[in-house]
């Protein structure tokens, strides 16, 4: 039955494209890039959730639209209207640049237009054949920064102590609560992260603008620019209003051209080939803070750490992996990871299930903006790991501890009393610090879990333990650095993963990619654990500080 359905779809596709070829297509297709984008299409949701929380724009669909334009030989190129509120991580921009680069290889011209370019949007625009700027527009200060706000002194004044333990000083997730300044190890790590991403941006500007690396660095160091200065410095190509793009392209093309927005142009663009319905590639998302239990995606992302944030649980992911394993139509799987970590036990459960799946079917892990700590733990079970050059990954390490609130209770004139049986039954409570004996038990658990994590990397990457230890210890790397150190196999995104699957199987581009569905109850919000509360608190504090390079990943040892 599947072959009959596919045959009908293919015939319909052929007829539809024959009709579309008789229609006039635009010379240029315009895309408006604004706001936030998720990496992938959001999971299917019920009617009420769709009405309350409308799906966000997603890069997956945008890239498919760009590919549709690129595959239509009648279209000359694309115009990217980049709005200043466009919010894409460096890794997301690299995914979009890859798609646009493939369009250029197919002969399409790329025109970028904006009235304000910042570091991220100029990095995107640097791929274009022409960079246009509105009169009175600007190129803002270009460059990268990262920083942290430290709260230890404030917590001390409140009578709160974070009693934390980590494997090495590089595992720095709790430093904001336990330190007053950056340690030398963290400064060193932040510098190598910035160096790697900065080199990517420098290289992109150098190639895109056809200038040397030194000239690209000079251009960055001498920013910001007014529109006139940017034109003079050859940072941009032309200063004009959006309405003047028509006349500008008429002049450069030597004839009158037509421009349509994608939605309007889509009616005449050639349709992509239909996908075969029988076999498919399973897509399993590991997005958000890793928790024990079921995944949740709250309707409202409150700015309160306890209530906000997407979470991914082992019960949900393991169930999806097992479905992919038992379904004969699922010929391979992509594990898409965008997570800075979380629960160690949940990470192990997910990795264990994925490892069993990989024994029967090819499994490729794709890392998005962040796939570190528990996120990287999960990836180690895949047959092949892919990251963007600026993906934040690694952080192979463990951190554990508790909040000690005894002094705060005393300041509030509160007195806590308990009656117990068992010497250490209260060791996780915040009323008292760990005793010497308890501290040793905590460290024993910490290093046991770290040792298991190392073993997973050793097995998954076919490396010696001594080799892994040199790059582990909580050290964070970019995707490019991780590739050089053997922690990932290739650089790219979802399309790179699919090409790898095609090489490993008899599948091809007509094979659909389908997300393993959620169960309804998996959207319920679980009660937060102390670990997840602290993790989310750190994430929100970093956002307040404006640290937009990466969020320090955490792998918690939980009670």
- Per residue in 25-58, pLDDT (tens digit) is 899 999 999 999 999 988 766 555 555 556 789 9
CA angle 501/505/508 to nearest 5° reads: 70
Mean pLDDT value of segment 346-362: 97
419-432: average pLDDT:
89
Q: pLDDT tens digit string along 243-293?
A: 999 999 999 888 899 999 999 999 889 888 777 778 999 999 999 999 999
pLDDT in tens, 189-209: 999 999 999 999 999 999 999
- pLDDT on residue 59: 96
- Is 347 catalytic? The answer is no
**Domain ranges, ordered by start, for the chain:** 23-142+223-265, 280-402+440-556
Distance from the Cα of residue 172 to its chain's centroid: 20
For residue 309, the model assigns a pLDDT of 77
Question: Distance between CA 29 and CA 69 in Å, rounded?
Answer: 7
CA-based nearest residue to 329, from 276, 382, 284? 276
Q: Is the dihedral of CA 463, 469, 471, 474 positive or negative?
A: positive
CATH topology for 280-402+440-556 is 2-enoyl-CoA Hydratase; Chain A, domain 1 (3.90.226)
Within its chain, how far is the Cα of 235 from the centroid? 29
171 is a catalytic site residue:
yes
Q: Under 8 Å CB-to-CB from 444, ≥6 apart: which residues? A: none
Has residue 518 got a pLDDT over 80? Answer: no
Same fold for the domain at 23-142+223-265 and the one at 280-402+440-556? Answer: yes
Q: Which two tokens stand for residue 123?
A: 């990095």
How many other C-beta atoms can be found within 10 angstroms of the C-beta atom of residue 356?
Answer: 15
How many Cβ atoms are within 10 Å of 202's Cβ, its own excluded?
A: 18
- Catalytic residue (one of 171, 285, 480, 542): 171
Residue-level pLDDT at 49? 53
As given in the structure block, the two tokens for residue 60 are 């997956």
CA-based radius of gyration for the chain: 26
Write down the residue that tokens 């690129």 correspond to: 70
Say if CB 148 and CB 175 are below 8 A apart: yes
Catalytic residue among 172, 346, 373, 395: 373
Q: Running DSSP on this structure, what letter comes out for residue 53?
A: S
Interval 300-317 mean pLDDT: 72
**b/e string for 375-402 if b means 16 or more Cβ within 10 A?**
bbbbbbbbbbbbbbbbbbbbbbbbbbbb
Lowest mean pLDDT among 169-183, 289-303, 373-387, 423-437: 289-303
Tokens of 286: 């590991």
Question: Which pLDDT score, from 0 to 100, does residue 310 have?
Answer: 87
d(CA 444, CA 425): 17
Q: What pTM was estimated for this model as a whole? A: 0.87
Are 361 and 373 a contacting pair, CB within 8 Å? Answer: no
- 446-463: average pLDDT: 96
Structural contact between residues 344 and 556, judged by C-beta atoms closer than 8 angstroms: yes
For residue range 482-497, what is the model confidence (pLDDT) as tens digits? 999 999 999 999 999 9
CATH of domain 23-142+223-265: 3.90.226.10
> Which residues have C-beta within 8 Å of that of residue 184, sequence separation ≥ 6?
169
Residue pair 87/36 in contact (Cβ under 8 Å)? The answer is yes
Residue 547 has pLDDT above 90, yes or no: no
Residue 283 has phi, psi (to 5 degrees) of -115, 125
Nearest to 166 by CA among 296, 380, 344: 344
Q: How many CA atoms lie within 13 A of 459 on its CB side?
A: 15
């Amino acid at each position: 039955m599947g072959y009959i359905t596919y045959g009908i779809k293919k015939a319909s596709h052929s007829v539809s494209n024959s009709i579309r070829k008789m229609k006039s297509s635009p010379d240029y297709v315009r895309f408006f890039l604004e706001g936030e984008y998720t990496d992938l299409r959001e999971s299917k949701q019920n009617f009420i959730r769709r009405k309350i929380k409308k799906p966000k724009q997603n890069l997956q669909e945008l890239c498919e639209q760009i590919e549709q334009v690129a595959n239509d030989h009648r279209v000359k190129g694309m115009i990217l209207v980049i709005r200043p509120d466009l919010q894409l991580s460096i890794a997301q921009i690299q995914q979009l640049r890859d798609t646009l680069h493939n369009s250029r290889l197919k002969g399409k011209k790329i025109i970028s237009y904006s009235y304000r370019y910042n570091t991220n949007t100029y990095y995107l625009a640097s791929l274009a054949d022409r960079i246009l700027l509105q009169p009175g527009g600007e190129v803002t200060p270009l460059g990268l920064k990262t920083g942290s706000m430290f709260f230890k002194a404030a917590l001390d004044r409140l009578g709160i102590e974070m009693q934390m333990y980590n494997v090495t000083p590089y595992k720095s997730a709790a430093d904001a609560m336990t330190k007053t300044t950056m340690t030398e190890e963290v400064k060193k790590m932040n510098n190598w992260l910035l160096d790697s991403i900065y080199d990517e941006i420098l290289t992109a500007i150098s190639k895109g603008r056809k200038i040397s690396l030194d000239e690209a660095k000079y251009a960055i160091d001498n920013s910001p620019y007014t529109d006139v200065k940017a034109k003079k410095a050859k940072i941009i190509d032309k200063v004009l209003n959006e309405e003047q793009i028509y006349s500008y392209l008429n002049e450069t093309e030597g004839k009158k051209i037509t421009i349509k927005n994608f939605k309007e142009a889509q009616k005449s663009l050639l349709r992509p080939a239909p996908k075969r319905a029988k076999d498919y590639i399973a897509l399993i998302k590991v997005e958000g803070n890793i928790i024990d239990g079921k995944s949740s995606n709250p309707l409202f992302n409150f700015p309160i750490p306890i209530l906000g944030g997407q979470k991914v649980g082992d019960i949900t992911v393991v169930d999806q992996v097992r479905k992919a394993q038992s379904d004969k139509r699922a010929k391979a799987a992509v594990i898409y990871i965008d997570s800075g970590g979380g629960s160690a036990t949940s990470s192990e459960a997910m990795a264990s299930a994925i490892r069993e799946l990989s024994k029967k079917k090819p499994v490729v892990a794709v890392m998005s903006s962040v796939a570190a700590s528990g996120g990287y733990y999960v990836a180690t079970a895949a047959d092949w790991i892919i990251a963007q050059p600026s993906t934040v990954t690694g952080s192979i390490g463990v951190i554990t501890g508790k909040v000690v609130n005894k002094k705060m209770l005393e300041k509030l004139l509160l007195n806590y009393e308990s009656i117990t049986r068992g010497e250490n039954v209260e060791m996780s409570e915040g009323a008292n610090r760990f005793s010497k004996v308890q501290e040793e038990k905590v460290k024993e658990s910490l290093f046991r879990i770290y040792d298991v994590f190392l073993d997973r990397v050793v097995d998954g990457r076919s490396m010696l333990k001594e080799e892994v230890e040199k790059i582990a210890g909580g050290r964070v790397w970019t995707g490019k650095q991780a590739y050089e150190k053997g922690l990932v196999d290739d650089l790219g995104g979802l399309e790179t993963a699919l090409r790898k699957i095609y090489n490993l199987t008899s599948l091809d581009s007509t094979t659909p990619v389908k997300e393993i569905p959620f169960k309804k109850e998996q959207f319920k919000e679980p009660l937060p654990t102390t670990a997840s509360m602290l993790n989310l608190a750190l994430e929100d504090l970093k956002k307040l500080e404006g640290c937009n390079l990466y969020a320090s990943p955490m792998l918690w040892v939980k009670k």
